[in-house]
Structure 1
Amino acid sequence: MFGRRWTSVLVILAAINLTSCAQIEDPCKTKARIVADDKYCDKYWECDNGQSVQYDCPNGLVFAGKHRGVTEGCDYPWRSNYCEYPKAQINPPIGTEHCDWLYGIFGHETSCTRYWTCWNGTATEQLCIGGLLYNENAHSCDWPENVDGCQKHPLCNEDPNGNVPLGKSCNRYWQCQGGYPRLQRCPAMLVFDRRSLRCVVPPTEDCDIPTTTAPPPEEEQQDARQGQHQKRPSNDFQEQQQGRTRPRN
């Protein structure tokens, strides 16, 4: 009984507040039946049983629009123009281990090649591959030259612009550029020589003449993943959208 009365009071107050704010469009009169708050980017209004009710986005996210964002119509504040001045986030951050907010992407405390993705306060460690580093401004893996204040990669400690063997591979190797490694492949019919650290005509001490058969599928898949990260850095965050729980204000 008390819960229903309290909900009714909230709905009435919300309706009064909505009426007093001319900037807020009545969501019950819109096709989407949901509108952004006029002052706070982490709040929005939705038509609920014919009444306008205010909701909060999950902690750390801001309203992006119906069927947009990572969950419940809410997204990360740095994407697009979801939270531009004079709008601001009104709800304070709720922090957990490795997470400044319950939802978000945050830099690692001790590593430039790792970062944390936080979902409802649970942190998952992620790794930037292909010689990329985590860029806190872009919230994603990025080319080293775009990341200030990070140490050089340990693979390139001996020679910041040299080549480094890649495991036991005969045709792939790391090429250091300014202290950061990038995956490379020798031209056709050449192999990587571990002594001279360059691509040469086979055979070498470790590699025979390469065959014309296709490489194993797992090697091709690994190369494809490496290539994707080199062409287009990304944050590798799986956007989960199950288990909706919306806090009413």
Structure 2
Amino acid sequence: MGDASHCGQFMNCAAGRGFVFDCPEGLAWNPATYKCDWPDQVEDCDAESFLGFSCPAPAPKSELLGEQEADYTFHPSQDNCQVYFICIEGRPRRIGCSEDQAFNQELKQCDDIENVPNCSSAIREKGAQIKAARLHAKKN
């Protein structure tokens, strides 16, 4: 359903009725495989428009220093510290951290939210509450 910039929905028909479903956030419907997939893997999906993120141009390669061009790069979301993008061959994929974690730019992965200073106090509080609830549940 939709167009190249809105490719996260699909319709399933049962008993003559159509039902609209949403792929999980950051994934697009792939009509070739009949499943939700990374938007950069879906031929008719414009991953950048769909995700609202454009991968930056790769840094120039230095032949003198023997630098290797990375196959992929990591970029924090400007809107949400619990989301980041991986650019693979210049095309983005959206990755979300769990509720008690956030993207740590130094580690290039999700980390305990208290280790990520750029999160808002509201997100930090919510993450701390979730972490405390999980620890309490493990004790019982």
Q: Please confirm whether the aligned pair reaches a TM-score higher than 0.5, indicating the same fold.
A: no
TM-score with structure 1 setting the length: 0.26
Structure (1 or 2) with the larger CA radius of gyration: 1
Which has a greater percent of helix?
A: 2
